[in-house]
Amino acid sequence: MATASHHHSATTPPPPPPPPNFLNSIKLKYIKQGYHYLMAHLPTLFLFPLISVTAVHLSQLNTNDVKNLYLHLQHNLLTVITLSVTILTGSTAYLLTRPRTVYLLDYSCYRPPDNLVVKFDVFMERSRLHGGFNEPALDFQRKILERSGLGEETYLPAALHNIPPAPSMATARQEAEDVMFGALENLFGSTKVDPKDVGILVVNCSLFNPTPSLCSVIVNRYKLRGDVKTFNLGGMGCSAGVIAVDLAKDLLMFERIWRVMLHRKAYAIVVSMENITQNWYFGNKKSMLIPNCLFRVGGAAVLLSNNPADKRRAKYKLLHTVRTHCGSNDTAFNCVYQEQDETGKTGVSLSKDLMAIAGGALKSNITTLGPLVLPISEQLLFFATLVARKITESKTKPYIPDFKLAFDHFCIHAGGRAVIDELEKNLQLSEEHVEASRMTLHRFGNTSSSSIWYELAYTEAKGRMKKGNRVWQIAFGSGFKCNSAVWEAVRAVKPSESSNPWVDCIHKFPVEIRV
């Protein structure tokens, strides 16, 4: 056996040399790594000589120089007092008004009961039994479902499980209350926060805005205090979750001054959701049937604070929010549009231009976000290629910055398979970078503005969130808008047993998505 093995190894031809392109890519990789390292440490290289010279000069000061400075200050006592008071006043004003870090203490994603699960065959059967859809419409919905990236465990509201469906104001209210209270009960339970300490409440729901408002429903249920500041955001689409966080961040700055004056605790809660019950489309226009196949029940509640004392129990701190609005462009404005079809049935129409509009909105958003998050090395490369293209009038594609150098995790709004594919391609992301988005779409469907929280929960449940990791939440919405939020983990984040919707099923994921 040994002889045979030796003979075999002796006659085995050597492995072929790697192709030239492979060698070139390896060299380019290490050249780029060296460039990024040099640019990252460039300030240190420049500052070191300056610090050295300053230290030498200070070491040469003698006792007489110090005494002369002290006597000079004694003779100008009024000047010193005035300067000290000015500095003290300015420092106090700055400390009271400067933006404080906003911390995310915890969040909760609503998981509907199992009796609301809708499998593909059940979806199609209920659509047939309704009787309002013609054969081309039924066939179109079946094809969309098969290509959507959704799985067999998504949820529809109870009213749409009825035969025939029973959408009404009462059933729509019931869906909203189930989602909001389900998420909030888990949030209050996991954080031990008293609802009386909530000073700011922001609720976003695009298509369902009853009177009293959804904010008032929550105030009534949890008996929030009389001076709570409430805001109800409607008609702002799937990107409204980031808008709500941005609004809460701004409000917390003013609430902090009020809290200091009254010696009160104050937290901000953001509730992001959509309501499906009264917004199901029962007509046959194909562009308005797509939301039926994608949107599912879901919602999230987020607890925020800018009290420095809350840092030790927080999960994340908010670094940036960037909002981009393209509504001045008529095509962008009309690409997601609620309207009535020719038979008078109401629904949301999705334009064929949607992906092109989303791509343009993304470029505008990252133009603002890039300088805030990208290392200087990437910014210089982007600027240099931009200048080169202008000078040479080249029609080559512009350099796409490597956002993987700025972020460890990506939460791309699970609006549909095409949205995730487009961002994966444009931002040159790997399968792992978009895994949370694909699995959220597969498991929960498009839950509108709350999908970015289900994706963050997925990352936590997988045990991937380490201290210092940066997360990019990016969402698109009607109008047309592209909004970003950047978070940094203040510790290694473990999933909350009571408020993470993935804890009992994360071992099943990722799953293969059928084409």
Q: Which residues are catalytic?
A: 238, 325, 409, 413, 442, 446
* Enclosing H/E stretch for 233: strand 229-233
Radius of gyration of the chain (CA): 28
CA neighbor of 315 nearest in space, from 466, 501, 502:
466
SS3 sequence of 93-120:
HHHHHCCCCEEEEEEEECCCCHHHECCH
Burial of residue 468 (CB within 10 Å: 0-12, 13-18, 19+) is exposed
How far apart, in whole angstroms, are the C-alpha atoms of residue 206 and residue 348?
11
Residues 430-438: contacts with CB within 8 Å, 24+ apart? 433/404, 433/409, 434/410, 435/510, 436/409, 436/410, 436/411, 437/410, 437/411, 437/412, 437/413, 438/149, 438/414, 438/510, 438/513
How far apart, in whole angstroms, are the C-alpha atoms of residue 238 and residue 451?
9
Burial of residue 353 (CB within 10 Å: 0-12, 13-18, 19+) is middle
